[in-house]
Amino acid sequence: MKKLHILDSTLRDGAQSEGISFSVSDKLHIIQALDDIGVSYIEAGNPGSNPKDIEFFNRAAEIPLKNAKLCAFGSTRRKNLKVEDDDNVLSLLKANTGTIVIFGKSWDLHIREILKTTNENNLELVFDTVEFFKKQGKELIFDAEHFFDGYKSNAACAIEVLKAADKAGADSLCLCDTNGGCSPDEIFRITQEMVQLFPGRQIGIHCHNDTGCAVANSMLAVTAGATQVQGTFIGIGERCGNADLSVIIPNLQLKQGYPCINSDLANLSEAVYAISEISNMPVPGNKPYVGLSAFAHKGGMHIDGVSKCAHSFEHVNPEAVGNKRRFLMSEVSGRTTVLAKLGGIAPDLTKDSPETAAIVQRLKEMEHEGYQFESADASFELMVLNVLGRYQPHFKLIMYKTSGEYPSPNGEMSAYAMLTIEVDGKTETAASLGNGPVNALDLALRKALIVFFPEVGKVHLTDYKVRVLTAEQASAAKVRVLIESTDGETTWTTVGVSSDIIQASWLALVDSIEYILK
């Protein structure tokens, strides 16, 4: 089976995504994550575009990479300059990478309207630039920008561009669906023709996701004979994004048997979440393979099936991609569903245990009140332990009081909270200012608890969500609050429900602290 070469463009094309701004430090961490997962190439930016990329390439040269080749990216020479006099071209040499990626125009519309030149002159730009870098001893990947649109507009012109790059010595010819508007059948047909036209030459594929087909297009290009796949590791990129390598790689490697990366795919989820965290782009719960919901089961029939035969409702083993199976609790849950979830909490229970029936009953009662546990595993575990009599609260609330003031005399600190708690017969009172009453209450609670439980100092909230449950009651509506917390090592979610948003938040806060103290 042919080996595929993966070129990741997260640091170049991905950096063009709305809301993304990588620091030099961010980029250095990402290339380490990409190298660890084992991609072949990391397209790391254009050193001629800004000082940040120049600094990055200087620092990246000091990092030993065990799998990937770092690539500098740039365009063909400008039409009015000799290649050796073009500063943008020369800046690519200063990046000191063994591999250079050059893009050139292959759509006659762009040649005519964007470059304002002739097809013949464009061929000279491509040939001169590729030849220049090959004479410098560089591995050269040529990206034929807008190739598919160019082929459909003027096939002869687009092919001549590839021939010019090939004649100049390009090591790889990459076909780019830059506008992301091609259908899978077009990608397959045209890629197959180019593979046949350039036998022995590595053909690459670079797809954008403007029709939602970037992953399918990339996979069909491989079926057509392409051996290099370009994309970004979490699908970020210009407009609707690029082909998502975190989906393409397991599809090709697990489903079609093509070796893609020099690493165990069991590291896939870890790499995705590391890059996502650095990019400040949350991983969608329903992202294939690595999303939190990718192997989450809620329906009773599904959970029963998975419990008896995992692959009856899972197309791959979640551990194969570094993910894990989750059973979701809801009002439709039966004893089999709850029992599957209880495996890690109370493994001694059976389907016929009276305790299991009591847990199912309590679950239904609480969800009728507005609780939802499918996204609040920590609160579910505390509820189970409470029903089983295996949970003793670590502290007791005596009272709390909150107040707010607008406009705030202290900038963002617009609220005040005071509370008194009791721990083993001892009371502690604390007060705090906060950015709103919930934040003030959270800070006051931690201030009081840290006297008894120093480990609480490591805990902080990472997300806070409010859902209105009874909108018809307007401002008196019942609300559900979900709070995500972390201690720097693990993350957990808790839930609280009340017609008073402060009370709902307090219930979720209490569960958050009790969960880490249990």
Q: Which fold has domain 5-263?
A: TIM Barrel (3.20.20)
Percent of the chain with pLDDT over 70: 96
Mean pLDDT of 160-180: 98
Residue with the bigger pLDDT between 230 and 340: it is 230
- The confidence band for 333, taking pLDDT boundaries of 50, 70 and 90, is low
Mean pLDDT of 212-234: 97
Cα distance between residue 246 and residue 269, in whole Å: 8
Domain span(s) for CATH 3.30.160.270 in the chain? 396-517
Q: For the structural domain made of 396-517, what CATH number should be given?
A: 3.30.160.270
DSSP 390: -
Q: Which residue has the tokens 């017609």?
A: 499
Q: Of the spans 204-208, 381-385, 459-463, 473-477, which averages the highest pLDDT?
A: 204-208
Residues 6+ apart with CB under 8 A from 383: 359, 362, 363, 366, 373
How open is the CA angle 170-176-182, to the nearest 5 degrees? 150
Domain span(s) for CATH 3.20.20.70 in the chain? 5-263
Cα distance between residue 296 and residue 454, in whole Å: 35
Mean pLDDT of 453-468: 89
- The confidence band for 410, taking pLDDT boundaries of 50, 70 and 90, is low
166 to each of 109, 160, 192, 436, how far by Cα in Å? 22, 10, 17, 63
- The confidence band for 15, taking pLDDT boundaries of 50, 70 and 90, is very high
How many CB atoms within 10 Å of residue 281?
16
Specify the pLDDT at position 471. 59
Condensed to tens digits (0 to 9), the pLDDT of residues 341-392 reads 787 788 888 878 899 889 888 888 888 888 888 778 899 999 999 999 998 9
Mean pLDDT of 199-205: 96
End-to-end CA separation in angstroms for the chain: 51
Condensed to tens digits (0 to 9), the pLDDT of residues 379-392 reads 999 999 999 999 89
Mean pLDDT of 92-119: 96
SS3 string, 85-98, reads HCHHHHHHHHCCCC
Strand order in the sheet with 396-404: 396-404, 415-423, 426-434
Specify the pLDDT at position 329. 62
Specify the pLDDT at position 474. 61
The secondary element (H helix, E strand) that includes residue 100 is strand 99-105
Mean pLDDT of the chain: 91
Cα distance between residue 309 and residue 383, in whole Å: 28
Is the pLDDT at 126 greater than 80? The verdict is yes
Condensed to tens digits (0 to 9), the pLDDT of residues 23-43 reads 999 999 999 999 999 999 999
411 forms beta bridges with: none
Q: Which residue has the tokens 């990626």?
A: 101
- The confidence band for 310, taking pLDDT boundaries of 50, 70 and 90, is confident
Residues 6+ apart with CB under 8 A from 124: none
